[in-house]
Amino acid sequence: MLIAQGRYVFDVRGEAVFVDLGDGRNLIALMAFGPRAENVDQMISLWVEAYGHYKWDEDAWSGRTKMQGPIELKPPLIPTLVTFSDLSDPKTARVVYATGPIVRDQILSNGRQPRIVGQGVLFDELGNVFGPGYRFRRATIQMVSAGAWPLNIFGLSGEPITHAIEGRVVGLRDMKRWDEQLRRDSYDPSRLRVGSGTLKKEGWSISNDLFLAILARLQPRVQ
């Protein structure tokens, strides 16, 4: 696989989408997926899979396949939606909507074995948390101009990356302290852990050869 051989760079930068619902209520689309926001790697290939391609499709990564216009995200590509009762405390996060693989037990001669039977909504508490009339409608992603390097690094070319999450989630103004609050608890894989990396990514890379700048907008809508 070409990507595994080091021909591409993954450069992930961006932040979660914050929706102000009024009256101190909030809804946040994380840069993570699954019922516990445990899948943080999906963001790397989200744009490729959203347009219907295999996640390591060489034509898509090389730019030979054109992917234009907004496209609606389907499970399991819809980011985990959470709400905070206290935007300075990561432990007050609560999942209100999540998608992923649907697993059913399959009865075999040697016992029960889990089997993935499809993809769908695993958790939907929007109405229960925010009240009647609130439901998830859709999330879309759209490819936009990355601009010319190195001007795009400084926001002088292409579509600029939003930098506003710290103004909303005030606890992120000190990311080290935010993550330390989570580390104080003993690790439990069954619990939701909204680390700073699920809310904001400054950029991290794997391999080196081809730089492909990807900017994506997630636009969850509720009513």
Kindly report, residue by residue over 8-20, the tens digit of the pLDDT: 566 777 899 999 9
Q: Report the C-alpha gap between 194 and 28 in whole angstroms.
A: 11
Average pLDDT over residues 79-108: 93
Average pLDDT over residues 23-32: 95
Q: What is the pLDDT of residue 49?
A: 94
**Domain count of the chain?**
1
* Lowest-confidence pick of 104-108, 118-122, 219-223: 219-223
Q: Is the pLDDT of residue 136 over 90?
A: yes
User: Which candidate, 150, 121, 151, places its Cα nearest to that of 136?
Assistant: 121
* Lowest-confidence pick of 123-127, 128-132, 174-178, 214-218: 214-218
Q: Domain for residue 222, yes or no?
A: no
Task: Enter the tokens of residue 19.
Answer: 């929706």
Q: Domain for residue 117, yes or no?
A: yes
Look up the domain containing 124 and give its range.
3-200+208-216
In this prediction, residue 144 has a pLDDT band, given cuts at 50, 70 and 90, of confident
Q: Domain for residue 62, yes or no?
A: yes
Task: Enter the tokens of residue 43.
Answer: 């963001």
Q: Domain for residue 223, yes or no?
A: no
Q: What is the pLDDT of residue 187?
A: 62
Q: Domain for residue 32, yes or no?
A: yes
Q: What is the pLDDT of residue 186?
A: 62
Q: Domain for residue 221, yes or no?
A: no
Q: What is the pLDDT of residue 147?
A: 73
Average pLDDT over residues 12-37: 92
Q: Is the pLDDT of residue 76 over 70?
A: yes
Cβ–Cβ < 8 Å for 199, 30:
yes
Contacts of 170 by beta carbon, 8 Å cutoff, 6+ apart: 87, 88
Q: Domain for residue 158, yes or no?
A: yes
